[in-house]
Structure 1
């Protein structure tokens, strides 16, 4: 919504307007301008300052006496002239019956008294009995041109403070910084832009990851959406050659959205045996493409209050859009989308929210969904076109297992050439990558306990003590392979 739309809402015969924003200062400045243009007296309320003029509202003799929510609302209710009251941080008090009743009284009398309530908060959910009288408004975020202007202004500020003529950068890096700052408020754009410049008087590629992390932290989705600081590289993923080739073919289109006439890649679904490398592959996709990785915890979406679970998903997807280009990893998708015996309707509503976003999104968000049990996923999610491709991650073959041993031995500063990898590879037929890694971990503990070096013998002992999933869950894995036969592409 742009600021003209905000003006239209403020000028309608709606007595209650809700604005959710973190940029309270700019919001109140814009509201002051809007009310001044329309000739409407306005006041701003907060629990610390009480009721003070916003623009040309009447100065009260003792504004602090109105710091209590019930007191200020009662004052507004009795006020007999048109006016606008911007109420900051009222959200903690909206579960109090008296507060709700006062707000409702003011809203019901709006056509007569013309007192407009504007709630400004980082997040605010009105009770149902008030919500029907309210309108929701959003402030437009800075455009690319405005972000670029802010960066240049911050560059001039830094240069003048440090007696420099100009900062060092190039057009490509500058445009990347502009893209990274999209979706932030004016204040946050200024702060992050100045921070990128201040450390060394330049805007470089090295500044971009830190800006991306800071941007994510500002979005306040911790617990549901996680910024994965540690990604991987495809060389850390053994096997999966078909998937690697598929990703390499799409690298340019994903790294340069808008610069190519190719359709942007939408996403992939990876399913298969637990521990088979799906999570590592998701991290490697972000790593090889040089994009931020956001992990959506499907289990953490759920909330006991009706509608909040879907809201959590919408907010997470909105944040992913703001972070684009990025990789969005939906970990263990079946935990949120499995229909099963759930009679609350929540999984169906979540599915509807996700499908709508997948169909309508215009941003460069590449979705990587991982699943251990594809039979639990609804057929609507599986139809052609939802994902670019569905990959089956099978148990690693002989060459892949040998590579996995080499990777994990090197990680622990052990030389693979010192071990009989051919024998270890044969012994671990049917093992997942995670099981091979755990065998090496167990061997390092055993060697430390014996005060000796990790040897072939100790690793073989660890392998012999492992009962792989291919044995424990043989029937389930067989079912997965049968399902994948004609429905998916083998990633290995």
Structure 2
């Protein structure tokens, strides 16, 4: 819902004399500003009640100090409601839940307003448990976060206050306002103004550099929620992924959908991607590198944190997590090993009263219907545990199968990790290491994963360090022989789980796109020396 749609709906509810309207928001100050404008438009008085000031008019004009007491305040409102008014209640929900007397009294007020008084009661605050007795009386309307136009206006108004200060560097150009506004989507007015104030103190100005402060504010919001984890992606890029060129190209195309030009062209937001395949082959790393390349926050959803002790808590937690993803959008929601959390949903009604099924249903519905630019990046290792509802078209834009790295990819992976240990890859016989880590050593379909290659590099470096620090070879450095020895000492996962991997490859030929280039594509592009005999699963894709 946009701001204009929210105001239109609110006006309709007020004109229709709804007795109780609950505006679900944490932005109390902004909600009051909007209600002041609405009251002026409808030619109604605006009176506000809080537990510290009681009833006030025009922010600070006290009606009666005794109205700090809720029962007294309701009685006073009954007297004032004969004149067209909007009564805004700020601290009401905790009071209603504390005593049935308050619930009954407020319900009577609501009924009187609905039947004969030209006024409305409007509760402002976050949605909490509504007493059962009031549920038929209350109409809930969610106040959206500021949209791009409103954000640019908030930033511009704040910046113009300091435009005459010669010691400050204030940039109010349209490109800067647009960049800051887009970065601030999902923040409240107060949070944005805090970020800008911080920039004035620290950077002596307002400019595009404030994007860093805005992103830090978003991190704080995510940490407060406690269900999502903000994953740092600094110093990462897609080149840190060895191979997976089909996946990289597909993601590069989707990245363009988040540009203003794509929006004007009529392109919608991508839904997401599901990566299935063998553990240790770069699925999780891909999520981090994509977030870094797209310059979007990466939010990891741990479904284990979603499930709570009490009835209804789990469903509320998942709704809160998904709302947070939308609030900080554009963003990437990373659900790692999704099959582990959802594998028991088929028998959920017998084991947990259906909680898992309801959480799963909430996720599926949101994935299908979401309108915000949240890209879902899900990974799975065990395809047999994936619910069929998750795999159908409409949940994800595509399903990719990540197989064991082929020769060209293993070469890239060796080079990446050798550079990581601050050595020159060209000083080693990479080709020999690539051959040794593949099917020529362990047989058809068996080769090292990316994480196993990383472990071999680390092991070789450690052993070389031990030799270097002995009295026998003080000048020794890590050599190709060290890497070869570490490779041969490995026990590949693909050897232990050869049958399982064979099943996954057969499944991928019908249900998923190959994340890597085929050996023929590698050879045609002259990107290495991949062997056409290497076993690879998944369908080909043309761009």
Same fold (TM over 0.5): yes
Contact 1:180 / 1:212 at 8 angstroms: preserved in 2? Answer: yes
CA positional deviation for 1:271: 0.7
1:361 to 335, 359, 370: 370
Which position in structure 1 is the counterpart of 2:522?
none
**For 1:379 and 1:386, how far apart are their aligned partners in 2?**
11
Identify the match of residue 448 of structure 2 among 431, 438, 444. Answer: 431
Count of paired positions: 479
Q: Does 1:53 align with 2:56?
A: yes
Secondary structure of 1:271's aligned partner: strand
Q: Name the SS for the 1:19 alignment partner.
A: strand
Q: Tell me the TM-score normalised to structure 1 length.
A: 0.83
Secondary structure of 2:220 counterpart = helix
Computing the radius of gyration from Cα coordinates, the structure with the larger value is 2
**Correspondence 1:253 to 2:257:** yes
Say if 2:382 is the partner of 1:373. yes
Structure 1: how far apart are the matches of 2:48 and 2:212?
41
- Counterpart of 2:26 (choices 22, 35, 47) is 22
Say which SS state the counterpart of residue 431 (structure 1) adopts: coil
Partner of 1:237: 241
Q: How does 1:85-124 map to 2 (within 5 A)?
A: 86-89=88-91, 96=98, 99-108=99-108, 110-112=110-112, 118-124=122-128
1:467 pairs with one of 469, 482, 491: 491
Partner deviation per Cα, 1:130-184 (whole Å, 9 max, x = no partner) = 43432223334434333323222222223223356x7347544432222222343
Query: 1:489 aligned to 2:491?
Result: no
Residue 142 of structure 1 aligns to a residue whose secondary structure is coil
SS at match of 1:250: helix
Instruction: Please name the residue that 1:69 is paired with.
Output: none
Q: Name which of 156, 179, 182 aligns with 1:179.
A: 182
Single out whichever of 37-46 and 224-233 deviates more from structure 2.
37-46
Partner secondary structure for residue 226 of structure 1: strand
The 10-residue stretch of structure 1 (261-270 or 473-482) with the greater mean CA deviation from structure 2? 261-270
Please show how residues 328-347 of structure 1 align to structure 2 within 5 Å. Answer: 328-338=333-343, 339-343=345-349, 344-347=353-356
Tell me by how many angstroms 1:272 deviates: 0.6
Q: 1:335 to 1:82 in 2, by over 3 A?
A: farther
Q: Does 1:203 align with 2:207?
A: yes
Q: Is 1:134 the counterpart of 2:138 in the alignment?
A: yes
Taking the aligned partners of 1:457 and 1:476, their CA distance within structure 2 comes to 32
The CA distance in 1 between the partners of 2:420 and 2:225, in whole Å, is 30
Deviations 1:168-224 (A, max 9, x none): 4754443222222234333333333455566253523x4434423423533666432
Kindly report the root-mean-square deviation, in angstroms, between the aligned alpha carbons of the 2 structures: 3.5
In 2, Cα distance between equivalents of 1:92 and 1:306: 20
Using the alignment, how far apart are the partners of 2:308 and 2:96 within structure 1? 19
Q: 1:421 to 1:358 in 2, by over 3 A?
A: same
Please identify, of 421-430 and 476-485, the stretch whose mean Cα deviation from structure 2 is larger: 421-430
The residue number in structure 2 matching 1:286 is 291
TM-score, scaled to structure 2: 0.76
- Please, which runs of 5 or more residues in structure 1 have no aligned partner? 67-71
C-alpha distance in structure 1 between counterparts of 2:149 and 2:57, whole Å: 29
How much does 1:383 deviate? 1.7
Q: For residues 454 and 408 of structure 2, what CA distance do their matches in structure 1 show?
A: 15
